[in-house]
Amino acid sequence: MKAIQLWCCVSCEHDWAREFDWTGLADQAVRLENSHRTILRESFVVTSRSATLDPSENRIRDRTAVAGETESIEDLIQEARRAIRLAGLAVATEKGYVSWIRRFGYFRLRRLGSSSLREFDTQGSALYLEYLALERHVSPATQKQALNALVFLARHVHGEKDFQIEFGRATGGSRRPPTVLTRDEVKRILNQLENPWKLLCQLMYGSGLRQSEALKLRVKDIDFGQGTIQIHDAKGGKHRVVPLPAKLESTLQDQLERQRDRHRHDCAAGEGRAHLNESLRRKYPHAGCEWPWQWVFPSATLCPHPRTGEVARYHLHEKSLSRQVTDAVRKAGLSKRATCHTFRHSFATHLLEAGVDIRTVQDLHGHADGSTTMIYLHVMKKPGAGAPSPLDFD
């Protein structure tokens, strides 16, 4: 308290600080008891069954490498990647599973003292999930992600068909409602952006695109005649068609015209290729140089493929777009924590508020389960799909 008083009175030279009742404010500060609900779980720490030592010694053990751990974990990761790709899972799923399997490997070798990772340890899996909840204080959703990764490891890497992981499963109630922007807040954010970032955000809001879907658009996916956008290989490997906002047609055509001029110059210099995955390169050897396969939002620089070494152009980076949106939200003075995905949430909510049926919104979002779309009914200005209040009845 004294430090805050000195900072306000001396460093910042605020007039109000000299007249403020600092003594009265200090007298109001009451030390919370250990049993107070705000700090109870920090005061009375409960460790998992794997914590047989003092907490500080456990932390030292968790950070101390053991002989041969790098080779053991990398071999396990290699087997996991092979199984994941044979199963046709998404790249994001691969990254998540690999991350959890790596952490589980370190936990077994360091905390549990396992000598090998060749066999699946059911009891060790239960202890790890318990450790995440009690010592790492992860949310129920995060614990469930770890469980999914361990179940995949057991079934598809170690070949376990009949097993059961018994642990204290955390429950977190219903799903948290998404953050939704008002139409005015969307405009305030867009006004802080310049193209192509502004156009990307307009597509995410106007067509309900995910961040990755907007960035990965190719020229051939835009159909001005039909007024639609085709989304390929979206989450879960799905394909869908979404509306192209009429207000964005001229801006999008200008964006494509500028990129076509740059593509012509790149082709003249022998560098007019866009990155394609390996199967497409085999099927369409010349597609990377053709205009329909170019990115709508290409990167400003060329980059070599990490494996083949082929120099080509990729799309704008996700982190660059995220930084632009974060800065725009801050400049707009919003108190909400808005991200790129918030535009997609706002798209669905505003359509429902306008009277669009929930089945249509489900199709536009590409949700396999209608219950996922139902969550937007809880954040509408008129909950319950616009049901009136009994007080308004005559």
Instruction: Say how far apart CA 297 and CA 317 lie, in whole Å.
Output: 10
Active-site residue (options: 108, 110, 156, 210)? 210
**C-alpha angle 358/361/365, rounded to 5°?**
140
The domains of the chain, with CATH numbers, are: 2-43 (no CATH), 55-157 (1.10.150.130), 183-331 (1.10.443)
φ/ψ of 303, rounded to 5, equals: -145, 145
Residue (of 160, 95, 94) closest to 125 by Cα position: 160
161 annotated active-site? no
Q: Which of 308, 316, 314 is nearest to 293 (CA)?
A: 314
Residue 341 is among the residues annotated as catalytic for this protein: yes
- pTM value? 0.76
Among candidate residues 275, 313, 344, 365, the one labeled active-site is: 344
Rounded distance, CA 164 to CA 126, Å? 9
Predicted confidence (pLDDT) per residue in 114-129, tens digit: 888 999 988 999 999 9
- Distance between CA atoms of 212 and 366, rounded to whole angstroms? 14
367 is catalytic: yes
Provide the 3-class DSSP secondary structure of residue 191. coil
Catalytic residue of the set 97, 128, 205, 376: 376
Please report where in the chains the tokens 């999930």 appear, as a residue.
129
- Which one is catalytic: 102, 158, 188, 235? 235
Query: In angstroms, rounded to a whole number, what is the distance separating the alpha carbons of residues 185 and 240?
Result: 28
Over the stretch 313-336, which tens digit does the pLDDT of each residue have? 889 999 999 999 999 999 999 988
The number of C-alpha atoms within 13 Å of 322 and in the hemisphere containing its C-beta is 8
In tens, the pLDDT along 12-29 reads 555 666 677 777 766 666
- Name the catalytic one among 273, 315, 350, 367: 367
Active-site residue identified among 232, 240, 341, 378? 341
Q: What is the pLDDT of residue 394?
A: 52
What is the distance between the alpha carbons of residues 10 and 339, in angstroms, rounded to a whole number?
Answer: 38
CB 383 within 8 A of CB 377: yes
282 is catalytic: no
- Strands (E) across the chain are located at 222-223, 228-231, 240-243, 298-304, 311-315
157 closest CA partner among 115, 112, 113, 100: 100
Top-confidence range, 77-86, 228-237, 280-289, 377-386: 77-86
Joined together, the tokens standing for residue 38 give: 């705000």
Q: How confident is the model at residue 300 (pLDDT cuts 50, 70, 90)?
A: confident
pLDDT tens-digit map of 200-216: 999 999 999 999 999 99
The per-residue pLDDT of the chain, averaged, comes to: 83
